[in-house]
């Protein structure tokens, strides 16, 4: 039976543009994984790895015009957004190159023998090593930053792990283009092209997670798809780490004092955040707890005005559009749910932004309104109007894990007066990033960033953004009483590589 063709599709029209490839067979997935496995040795030298990452960034930047044009044709995200996302992707690659050069990510710890300790301490030397081939599952909504050359790939390569990427069906032509650029960069450093493999197709993704030479996986996508792969990773004869980002509601709490102080600004800011990128961000605020009464009314008026002025937009594909239209209609049909600005179909190929309101009491106990506590991908949010602090606590207690949680405080509350600290304490167990007087859209690529959260936001405690994302693809190993001549250079007393380390309890830089 012939493999199914892979088409590039224009989301603005729903029409096929060109055949890009064919779906990979099990044999082709096997070949890609084995080629990646054979390329491991070429990544062993940290100097080579860092140079490769920088060259990859340079090559991507040099191909900017063609890459952005191809990405826009397949995603309709627009040249401005895509140019910025490509710049972010190049920055990530260079940032991981700097991390590789520094070497602190190896976590070198050396303890010399101490017979006076209880129990006695032998000679112990510990550092981290690469896991092996990493399977990367591309996201739909970030065709550069969470795709073939995105953060999972960049951090895995930085750790010394080759990758095999399962492309997202929404941008197969771009995936092929980016993979070609990365392989060209690899060749400039005598690294085999198999260091970055690429496969297409649903079945290929299933075969990939099951392959015995795949040592770990990174995923960004839906709860349903991510959970299926997570379960498959755990069910293997040899289970592997699965770092999945699955879904997030990203709750926002607006205190009554904050609404009274700056209702207009909060409403406008919320509108901008929930409609940014046509609501296709994993950190879009999907549930807002706002006060009932005059202050909350003023906030809703501002939100109504701002959302009403938002143009209809194109989602990444027509399947997402259909799911959005059906999802908001189902939510709007629930008892006591109102639509001050009705979200839904904006045209044959577009969607219109909007928001729903509901009494918070409807969410405080289990029932049919639980649908409002599930992520709806697209430009919509739910505003739950609360009567008192008890209702806020009740709703928060029912929320699943999230990538972010936000609180909007008044000036006095932010200064330590009132319930500001208490609300932060209530939000902290719910999310990996807690914001005060800001909006969650816009994830800075910085050393202190954490992009993750309790399940179902992610399936692990790790981050997929920032320098510590490299830790996902490594494991510690300790050598006991190994002769100096047999030790890796990273663990020798004289520190020939000049690595930061902890030596007999003392931090050396």
Q: Active-site residue numbers? A: 245, 282
Q: Residues 483, 485, 489, CA angle at the centre, nearest 5°?
A: 110
Q: Which segments within 246-286 are labelled E, that is strand?
A: 251-254
Report DSSP letters for 422-483, one per residue: HHHHHHGGGEEEEEESS-S------TT-----TTTTBSSS--SSSGGGGGGGEEEEEEES--
Residue 269 phi, psi (nearest 5): -65, -40
Contact 246, 459 (CB under 8 A): yes
Strand 287-291 and strand 338-341: the pairing is unpaired
**Nearest CA-CA partner of 76 in 137, 141, 19:** 141
Q: Is the peptide bond between 119 and the residue preceding it cis, with omega within 30 degrees of 0? A: yes
**In this structure, is the dihedral angle defined by the CA atoms of residues 427, 433, 437 and 440, taken in order, positive or negative?**
negative
The helix (run of H) or strand (run of E) holding residue 17 is strand 15-22
CA distance 36 to 198: 10
**Strands of the 196-199 sheet, one edge to the other:** 196-199, 163-166, 133-137, 214-220, 242-245
Read off the tokens for 317: 């594909």
End-to-end CA distance of the chain: 59
Q: Is 384 helix (H, G, I), strand (E, B) or coil?
A: strand
3-state DSSP of 159-217: HCCCEEEECCCCCHHHHHHHHHHHHHHHHCCCCCHHHEEEECCHHHHHHHHHCCCEEEE
Q: Which of 280, 233, 236 is nearest to 460 (CA)?
A: 233
> Cα(291)–Cα(259) distance, rounded to whole angstroms?
8
The CA-atom distances, in angstroms, between 397 and each of 162, 227, 251 are 41, 23, 12
State the residue for tokens 């060259």: 55
Whose structure tokens read 């959302």? 307
Query: CA nearest 469: which of 43, 153, 249, 180?
Result: 153
């Amino acid at each position: 039976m012939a493999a199914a063709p892979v088409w590039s599709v224009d989301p603005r029209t729903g029409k096929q543009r060109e055949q890009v490839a064919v779906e990979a067979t099990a044999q082709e997935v096997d070949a890609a994984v084995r080629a990646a496995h054979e390329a491991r040795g070429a990544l062993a030298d940290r100097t080579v790895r860092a140079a490769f990452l920088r060259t990859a960034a340079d090559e991507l930047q040099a191909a900017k015009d063609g890459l952005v044009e191809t990405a826009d044709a397949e995603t309709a995200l627009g040249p401005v957004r895509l140019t910025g996302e490509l710049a972010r992707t190049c920055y990530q690659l260079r940032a991981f190159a700097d991390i590789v050069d520094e070497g602190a990510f190896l976590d070198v710890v050396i303890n010399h023998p101490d017979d006076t300790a209880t129990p006695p301490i032998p000679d112990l030397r510990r550092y981290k090593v690469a896991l092996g081939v990493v399977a990367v599952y591309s996201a739909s909504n970030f065709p550069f930053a969470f795709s073939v050359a995105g953060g999972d790939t960049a951090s895995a390569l930085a750790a010394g792990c080759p990758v095999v990427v399962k492309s997202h069906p929404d941008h197969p032509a771009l995936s092929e283009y980016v993979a070609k650029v990365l392989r060209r960069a690899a060749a400039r450093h005598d690294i085999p092209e198999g260091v970055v493999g690429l496969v297409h197709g649903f079945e290929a993704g299933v075969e990939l997670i099951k392959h015995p030479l795949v040592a770990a996986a990174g995923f960004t996508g839906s709860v349903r798809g991510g959970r299926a792969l997570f379960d498959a990773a755990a069910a293997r004869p040899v289970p592997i780490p699965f770092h999945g980002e699955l879904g997030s509601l990203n709750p926002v709490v607006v205190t009554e004092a904050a609404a009274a102080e700056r209702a207009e600004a909060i409403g406008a800011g919320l509108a901008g955040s929930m409609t940014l990128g046509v609501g296709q961000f994993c950190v879009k605020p999907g549930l807002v707890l706002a006060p009932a009464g005059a202050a909350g009314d003023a906030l809703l008026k501002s939100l109504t005005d701002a959302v009403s002025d938002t143009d209809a937009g194109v989602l990444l594909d027509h399947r997402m559009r259909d799911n959005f239209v059906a999802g908001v209609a189902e939510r709007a049909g629930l008892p006591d749910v109102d639509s001050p600005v009705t979200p839904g179909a904006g045209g044959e190929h577009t969607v219109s932004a909007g928001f729903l309101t509901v009494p918070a009491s409807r969410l405080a106990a289990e029932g049919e309104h639980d649908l409002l506590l599930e992520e709806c991908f697209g430009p919509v949010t739910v505003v739950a109007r609360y009567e008192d602090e008890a209702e806020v606590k009740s709703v928060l207690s029912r929320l699943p894990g999230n990538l972010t949680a936000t609180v909007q405080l008044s000036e006095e509350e932010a200064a330590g007066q009132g319930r500001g600290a208490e609300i932060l304490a209530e939000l902290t167990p719910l999310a990996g990033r807690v914001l005060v007087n800001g909006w969650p859209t816009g994830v800075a690529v910085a050393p202190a960033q954490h992009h993750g959260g309790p399940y179902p936001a992610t399936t692990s405690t790790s981050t997929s953004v920032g320098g510590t994302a490299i830790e996902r693809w490594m494991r510690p190993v300790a050598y006991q009483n190994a002769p100096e001549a047999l030790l890796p250079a990273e663990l020798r007393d004289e520190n020939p590589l000049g690595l930061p380390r902890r030596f007999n309890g003392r931090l050396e830089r």
